[in-house]
A = this chain, B = another copy of it.
Amino acid sequence: MTDGAAGGDRFAMYDLFAAYGALIDAAEFDAWLALFAATCTYHIVPRENYERGLPAGLVYCDSRAMLEDRIRTLREANKYNIHTDCHLIGLPRLTGEEGDAKLVEAPFAVYQSDQEGETRLFATGLYRDRIVVEPDDLKFRDKLVLLDTFAVPSLLATPL
């Protein structure tokens, strides 16, 4: 993920984030899960709690099995809450390294549209992720969703 000869690593990082949003929006959750490493975590935490060191998260998936389980539940729930998501993700930014992982951040906004074609802002926040190469693709090993928006009752009906 250096700015190597081809810039290919950097583009791969951009593609990982682009695919992350696109696959949720297209409800292709198996392909979405494949963006995560075999060993992975997925946490959603209100940004304020995170900054104060409070442990209270909205979603804590500490293993891939938990993440798969969560997605299965969401799919069921969304049979009764039909909507379309639209993820807009800002340019990802390398902020450091930790062992074999790259630390990468990107801001995001998610919009939701209902069956009547009305769209509203759903949530904004910041992805703060650890990305690894496994085996020859980039994958999310740890995805932390720092959520600005936590007043929405239906908030957890969609992956962020």
- Tell me the A residues contacting B by CB distance below 8 Å: 3-8, 10-11, 14-15, 17-19, 21-22, 25, 46-48, 84, 86-94, 105-109, 111, 113, 115-121, 123-126, 147-152
Contact = CB atoms under 8 A, between A and B. Distances in A.
Given A6-B5, A118-B149, A107 B88 contact: yes
A21 to B, nearest CB: 6
A148 B107 contact: no
Contacts of A152: 117
Contacts of A17: 91
Nearest to A86: B124
A13 B78 CA distance: 35
Please give the count of copies of this chain that the complex contains: 3
Contacts of A116: 151
Contact of A91 (B14, B47, B118): B14
Contacts of A147: 117
B4 A107 contact: no
A94 B15 CA distance: 8
A148 B120 CA distance: 10
Contact of A86 (B3, B7, B107, B120): B107
